[in-house]
Structures are given as structure tokens and as C-alpha cells.
Structure 1
Amino acid sequence: MTTDTDRPPRLTRLVFHGPLSEARADRIVRRLVRTGPATVLDIGCGWGELTLRLLAAAPGATAVGLDLDADDLARGRREAEARGLADRVEFVKASAKETARGPADLVLCVGSGQALATAEPPGHAVGALRKLRRLVAPGGRVLFGEGFWQRAPTPAELSGMWPGASAADHLHLADLVDTAVAAGFRPEWIETANEDEWEEFESGYLADVEEWLAAHPDHPLAAETRERADRHRAAWMTYRGVLGMAYLTLVPA
């Protein structure tokens, strides 16, 4: 029988659960707080690192983060407590699909468009952006983080990515921006993760597991864990330079 203490640590080497550097995050936070937001809604918040930084930069603002991962939400609560922000943020285990939360002055949806839509990719981006338009207050801002194809993937590349990967899974950047405009936004800022950010994220995502595997090669969970880590790394090596991440700062029109 194994316990949680027998398992590899989970994502302790990551600051953000995505290819986002602290330098870019700081620039995004400065941009988003320019309008003096009072309320923040974080869709698919995880442990809410970006939201906590926004609250620190916008005194008096309050926030709600929605996610389904209890471990990530607990981490967010611990971080909020440690930074003296616990009375200004609520981490809620709940689906965002039919949320009654909002409208909020700032709405974050970073890598979580699927949490708002029922359509299959890439149609989920259309539905997510339409819902985000309804969730943001007039004069507010939306930060929409979404994957896109930097170039068309080949069939061989798709076969090495996630199970069932298809060229239809993502839009190209220009099409993603056009989709945001069609949903009722103007793009204040368009930026994309660079190679360093991807490497920091993907290496950090696996680092805990790789160290654990090196130290526990004969553990009862080692074979399963090794197979999962190897599969993830192989996928990353395949979509490296093909899959991008866009961060769109959007103004409701």
C-alpha cells in the first residue's frame, strides 16, 4: 500500500502552471491594474499565482478563483494566507461553465478556455470568448491565454503529441485574434510565450517526477510514473516550436 508521502512531489518547481515567465507576468499585472480594478474573476485558476500578484498590485481589490482541482485550490489558499491576502480572495471548487459569478473588472482565463465551453477544439475558443465577454464589466479587461499553432503540424508530429491530436485542435494566432474581435473585444495587447518560457514550464513540470524516479527506481509506482513522464516529455519534444501560447489582453467593445 502506498500513501501520498510515497508519491513524487507535485509541481513544486512551477511558479505558474503554464509557459509564463515572472518578467512577463509582472508586465501583464502592471497593464491590467492601470484601470483600477475592484474585482477579479479567475477561470480555471489553479493555485491562482497571477491573481495573487494582481491583488498585491491593486490594494482593495477582491478576487474569486474557480477550479476543480482541490490540491491546486488548497495551494492557492496557503499562498494567500502567507502573503496576507486571505481576506481578499476566495478559491472555490466549482465548474465555470454556468457560473453566475461576474461581471468582474478583470477576468482571467489562462489556458482554461475549455472550462467555459462545451464545443470541441478549436470551437471552444469561440464559446469561451463569448462567455468572457459577458463576464467582464464595462471598461474592464480580460486576459485570455490560449494555445495556437505556430505553424501547421505535420501528420507525423500530430501522432507524437497528445492522444487524438488533430490539426483542428488549435487556431493560428491571426484566427485566434479575429475570434476575439468577433466576440466583442478589441485586442489591447497581443503577446506570445517564447522558447525560454516553454522550456522553463515543461522542465519544471517534470522536474519533481524526474528527481523522484532517479531516487526510487524500484518503487511500486515507478513503472507507471516513468511511463507517464516519458510520454509527456516525448510529446513536448514533438510540439516544441509548433504549439504556441498566446496571451491576449482584451478590452470589451
Structure 2
Amino acid sequence: MADNDLPPRLTRLTFLGPLSEARAARIVSRLAPAAPSTVLDIGCGWGELMLRTLDAVPGASGLGIDVNAEDIARGRANAEARGLAGRVRFTEGSAGEDALQPADLVLCLGASHALSDARPPRHTAAALRALRGLVAPGGRVVFGETFWQRTPTEAELGAMWPGARADECPDLAGLVDLAVAAGFRPLWIETANGDEWEEFESGYQSDAEEWLAGHADHPSAATTRERVDRHRASWLRGYRQVLGFAYLTLVPVD
């Protein structure tokens, strides 16, 4: 079966998370004046925010690391199309496999799991400690992480991912406390809004949904349908308006 017989993957998403164009522009506008010379993107996906930062800071170089080969290829193609290929390197693999050098700007957006094997919620604190060692003095970290907007009910937990627990995520105040305990001061605290979540969740599914509408008899239709139906139910019946996503811009304490 040819790959082009299967549903495309995430082509309707600009960012691999609940992040709007407007918020991304604001984040870059706050980061660029510090003129970071090196940018490290851990669990980068296709590294969209890193590429936009490099575009805003002439001369800066970037390194993006992710385990997904398709996303890495997309990042390389995007960098080439924007004339940034000479200033950025995308590496397929785990962040723990490279002896990473501290960078002036470290991005870790929804990828705390790439920095720690600890079981939630301990992985968040462990990831923040690892990030503290990866940011150069006077640098910045942008940490994107989930938190509970409110305590989920048992029914909501049951509809989420397998084994979801109420102690899996902190609330927003607890998340910021973990960053402070890891050796940071929170320069900026912001959270994804409902529109950003809906844009992300719909975009995450829409390629497969459209493919299913036109390929009902395809050999892969049943497994694809089960996957997207399960994900949609997890969102709509489980974590919608319960799970939040924070973007913390952090500065290391000397």
C-alpha cells in the first residue's frame, strides 16, 4: 500500500500545540530583543516557533531535536524554504542521547517527557531542573506544559487517556512554583485560551476526518476511525475546559 493512500498527518496545524499566530508573535517579540545567539528546541516537532525566532534574530543559530522523523523532515523543508537552512539543524532522536550544550534560548513546548522518565507529576519538576542546566546564564526558557484548570471529576478522568489521574498535573500556581523551585523566575505567565485549544484539537484531527469521509472502505479505515473517535471523545468528554496549557517564559537565577 502506498503512503499516499493513507491519511495525511497534521497538515492543517501550524504549531504542534494550542498556540495562535497572535500569541506566537507576542512570544517572539519578547524573546528577540535579548538577541539570543543560540536556540535549542527540545521535542521540537517541526520547530515552527524556533524558526520564527531565528527569522527575527539575524545571525542566531538553532538546534531542534525530536524523535519523529516526519516532523523533522517537515522542519528541514520549512527551514530551506525560508532561507534558514544554514542556521538551523534538526536532529532525529532523543534529547537524552546528545551531550547538549547550554543555549541562550531553550524551547520546550509540551515535551517535558523528553527530559525525564519520571512518572507524572514528578516528570515536570525533573524536566524543569534539566532545563535549568541547559540554559546559558542570562538566557531564557519558554516552557509549555499542561496543568489542571480545575480538579477533574472521576467521569472526566475516565474519558481521558488511559490511567489519567487527578494528581497527574498541578494547577497553574503549582506549575509556576515548580519553575521557581528549579531555579527560575517567571518573566511571563500566559495560558492557551479556548479558541487556541479548539483550533489545535480540530486541526489535529481534520486530515484524518476528511480522509475517512472519502475512504470508508479502505483497509485502514477501521483503525483510523477508532483512533480519531477515541481522541475526539477524550477531548470533548474528558479534558476540554479541564486541562490547561501554560506558556512560561523563565529566566534563570544566578
The corresponding residue for 1:44 is 43
Equivalent in the alignment of 2:95 = 96
Q: In the aligned structure 1, how far is the partner of 2:93 from the partner of 2:252?
A: 25
Q: Secondary structure at the match of 1:167?
A: coil
Matched, 1:163 2:162: yes
State the shift of 1:94 in Å.
2.0
Aligned residue number for residue 248 of structure 2: 248
Post-superposition shift, 1:3? 2.0
Deviation at 1:248, TM superposition (A): 0.1
User: Is 1:12 aligned to residue 3 of structure 2?
Assistant: no
Per the alignment, residue 196 of structure 1 pairs with 195
Alignment RMSD, CA only?
0.7
Q: Which whole-Å CA distance do the structure 2 matches of 1:55 and 1:208 have between them?
A: 29
Find the residue that maps to 2:124 and give its secondary structure.
helix
Shift of 1:98: 5.2
- After TM superposition, the score normalised by the length of structure 1 is 0.98
Q: Which residue of 2 aligns with 1:70?
A: 69
Shift of 1:119: 0.7
Over residues 108-163 of structure 1, what are the superposed CA-to-partner deviations in whole Å (9 max), with x where a residue is unaligned? 00000010012111110111000100000011000000000000001110000011
Equivalent-residue separation in structure 2 for 1:250 and 1:88 (angstroms): 24
The secondary structure found in structure 1 opposite 2:64 is strand
**Runs in 1 of length 4+ with deviation above 3 angstroms?**
none
Match of 1:179 in 2: 178
Secondary structure of residue in 2 paired with 1:71? helix
The answer for the alignment partner of 2:26 in structure 1 is 27
In the other structure, the counterpart of 1:143 is 142
Q: CA deviation at 1:236?
A: 0.7
Deviation at 1:176, TM superposition (A): 0.4
Tell me how far apart the structure 1 counterparts of residues 128 and 213 of structure 2 sit (CA, whole Å): 43
Query: How big is the shift at 1:97?
Result: 2.6
Q: 1:187 corresponds to which letter in structure 2? A: P
CA distance in structure 1 between the partners assigned to 2:92 and 2:123 by the alignment? 21
Q: Does 1:222 align with 2:204?
A: no
Once the two structures are superposed, residues 37-66 of structure 1 have per-residue CA deviations (whole angstroms, 9 ceiling, x without a partner) of: 000000000000000000000000000001
Give the paired residue count. 252
Provide the C-alpha distance between the structure 1 equivalents of 2:16 and 2:185, rounded to a whole number of angstroms: 26
Please state if 1:209 is matched with 2:208: yes
d(CA) in 2 for partners of 1:8, 1:23 = 29
SS at match of 2:100: coil
Instruction: State the AA in 2 paired with 1:88.
Output: R
SS of residue in 2 equivalent to 1:109:
strand
